[in-house]
Amino acid sequence: MEVPGAIAEPQWREPIVAGVASVPVTLVCQWRSAGTYVFVPVLLAGLLVGYLFAERPPSSRRAGTRAGLVGGLALLGDGVRYLTDIPEYSFPIGLSVLAGLYTVLVVVLYAGYFGLVGGLGGLVGGWLANWIDGPRSEPVAR
């Protein structure tokens, strides 16, 4: 089975896999700790991807940001749940629409925050790769 488009390229595939792998861990952290350590799985996914993408396109920070944004998908479940709860309250229609828009805005802002945390992890991962392994070079084809 062939994967179409940009997802087939390693610079997208690896951050997406790391971000998707962080989603279940993020959900468990949300459930167990009431939001205290929710960003740790995304930070670790960004760190791993940043380490892998040191001196490889895209930059380790950008790869970590991609992993963080994908890891932010963990927020969609709660966002949808809050949106479906709005009709149960006796708000006027205007206030219900405003509450729905506010919920969407908060989910988007948190997803962006997840991207920033993943980017920070990617930046640290790239730094660690250069510190541990030294400058890497691409293998020369003969």
Per run of 10 residues, the mean pLDDT along the chain (length 142 residues) is: 62 80 83 73 88 78 87 84 84 87 90 91 87 64 54
Could you tell me the two tokens for 91? 């708000």
**pLDDT score for 84:** 87
Query: Residue 8's pLDDT is what?
Result: 62
What is the model's pLDDT at position 6? 59
Chain centre to alpha carbon of residue 77: 15
pLDDT value of position 117: 92
Domain boundaries, the chain: 39-133
**According to the model, what pLDDT value does residue 35 have?**
60
At residue 116, the pLDDT reads 93
Res 37: pLDDT = 64
Q: What is the 3-state secondary structure (H, E, C) of the chain?
A: CCCCHHHHCHHHHHHHHHHHHHHHHHHHHHHHHCCCCCCHHHHHHHHHHHHHCCCCCCCHHHHHHHHHHHHHHHHHHHHHHHHHHHHHCCCCHHHHHHHHHHHHHHHHHHHHHHHHHHHHHHHHHHHHHHHHHCCCCCCCCC
